[in-house]
């Protein structure tokens, strides 16, 4: 079996590694040059994109910002999973909000803005504490602005005046008071079989995910069921095939959807060592029509992103239950260079291991690590 992945980053690499034991050959596409490449070496293979698509059993994506001309070409084959419409939902916050409203899935109170003067109406409707997001091409904290009170509105308008809001509208959300950020990774087959992983708790810094812990603590049966119902509504509503990530805010006993990612997701990397079947293997199983795998968590697990640095001691592997996943990229500020997975018998033990890990990492590069370690040690 063969699967072609649009995108040649770390997610394609991890899909490739998951495919080898299954006998699934995974190829990647450099979407900047329309070149078929090896997902690990990134070297071009001796095959045209057309031939690769013809030979593939399934086509999929590792990120949602694939040029639409390539998605149209893929969709025309009838092999693209998830569908082009589902992928575009993840690439465009306006489409995303429209889907959530259409399926009656609770999400953040918001307005769509296509002209700067509409920001005044947003304050009237949502209050003067707002998060403003570009509807496209924004991720890891980029393309976002905050309004903390109405007095900042003139400066905000000045900062946004060069934007073409007709071409790329803004999504303006009420700044919510929430307890924590959670995400649910789930998978749906073409036959409608659905499996979900336990909720993960995510810790962000400057708009970028730094640490995920799964299963999230203090999740009762009702909260997990609510998350699973949200996933099922979305996955069935889109006739989705593959892994879908749903990022949510917990406000009391209510979950509000923040973002959707129509692909394998950073907050699901813990599944590589914390569950029987990783999100990468389950995504491949779904798109080629194999039975879906077990999604239960074996024990508490943490995923720590290595961001913008490569200088640290590999002796961190001396920590029991520690695994390093390196992406082989050139160092760049805010770039995800790799991630580290840790597992432990208890949350307190996991907190202790995060403290151990901090001793091997350069000071200042992992601002959330020790705080999360202390939180877990108290559980």
Query: What fold, for 180-377?
Result: D-amino Acid Aminotransferase; Chain A, domain 1 (3.30.470)
CA-CA-CA-CA dihedral for 223, 372, 131, 259, to nearest 10: -50
Q: Say whether 153 sits in a helix, a strand or coil.
A: helix
Mean pLDDT to the nearest integer, 305-311: 94
Question: For residue 229, what are its two tokens?
Answer: 């119902």
Cis (ω within 30 of 0) for the bond into 82?
A: yes
Identical fold, 2-80 and 180-377: no
Predicted confidence at residue 1, as pLDDT, reads: 97
Strands 170-174, 301-307: pairing kind: unpaired
* Residue 263 vs residues 123, 283, 327: alpha-carbon distances, Å: 34, 8, 18
Quote the CA–CA distance of 14 and 325 in Å, as a whole number: 9
Domain locations along the chain: 2-80, 109-174, 180-377
Rg (CA), the chain: 21
Place of tokens 């989705």: 240
Query: To which CATH superfamily is domain 109-174 assigned?
Result: ATP-grasp fold, A domain (3.30.1490.20)
Are the CB atoms for 301 and 308 separated by under 8 Å? Answer: no
pLDDT interval class at 330 (50, 70, 90): very high
The band of 207, judged by pLDDT with boundaries at 50, 70 and 90, is: confident
Q: Alpha-carbon distance 47 to 36, whole Å?
A: 7
Contacts of 145 (CB under 8 A, 6+ apart): 131, 132, 156, 159, 160
The pLDDT of residue 139 is 62
Instruction: Kindly state the tokens that stand for 278.
Output: 């990783």
Calculate the average pLDDT of the chain.
96
Cα separation of 211 and 372, whole Å? 8
Write out pLDDT tens, residues 351-364. 999 999 999 999 88
CATH code assigned to 2-80: 3.40.50.20
């Amino acid at each position: 079996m063969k699967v072609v992945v649009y995108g040649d980053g770390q997610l394609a690499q991890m899909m490739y590694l998951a495919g080898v034991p299954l006998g699934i050959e995974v190829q990647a596409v450099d979407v900047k040059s329309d070149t078929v490449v090896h997902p690990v070496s990134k070297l071009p293979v001796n095959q045209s994109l057309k031939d690769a698509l013809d030979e593939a059993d399934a086509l999929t994506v590792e990120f949602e910002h694939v040029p639409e001309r390539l998605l149209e070409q893929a969709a025309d084959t009838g092999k693209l999973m998830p569908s082009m419409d589902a992928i575009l939902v993840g690439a465009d916050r306006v489409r995303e909000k429209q889907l959530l409203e259409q399926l009656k899935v609770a999400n953040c109170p918001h307005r769509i803005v296509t002209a700067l003067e509409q920001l005044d109406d947003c304050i009237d409707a949502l209050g003067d504490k707002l998060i403003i997001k570009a509807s496209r091409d924004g991720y890891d904290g980029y393309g976002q602005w905050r309004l903390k009170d109405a007095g900042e509105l003139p400066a905000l308008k000045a900062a946004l005046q060069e934007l073409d809001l007709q071409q790329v509208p803004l999504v303006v959300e009420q700044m919510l008071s929430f307890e924590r950020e959670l995400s649910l990774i789930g998978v749906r087959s073409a036959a409608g079989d659905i499996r979900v992983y336990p909720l993960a708790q995510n810790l962000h810094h400057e708009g970028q995910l730094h640490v995920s812990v799964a299963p999230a603590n203090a999740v009762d049966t009702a909260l997990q069921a609510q998350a699973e119902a949200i996933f099922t509504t979305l996955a069935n509503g889109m006739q989705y095939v593959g892994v879908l990530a749903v990022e949510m805010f917990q406000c009391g006993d209510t979950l509000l959807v923040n973002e959707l990612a129509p692909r394998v997701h950073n907050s699901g990397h813990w599944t590589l060592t914390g569950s029987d079947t990783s999100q990468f293997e389950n995504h491949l199983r779904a798109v080629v029509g194999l039975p879906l795998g077990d999604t239960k968590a074996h024990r508490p697990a943490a995923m720590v992103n290595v961001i913008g640095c490569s200088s640290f001691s590999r002796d961190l592997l001396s920590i029991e239950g520690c695994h390093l996943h390196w992406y082989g990229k050139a160092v760049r500020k805010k770039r995800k260079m790799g991630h580290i997975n840790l597992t432990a018998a208890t949350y307190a033990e996991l907190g202790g291991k995060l403290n151990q890990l901090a001793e091997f990492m350069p000071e200042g590069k992992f601002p959330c690590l020790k705080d999360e370690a202390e939180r877990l040690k108290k559980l």
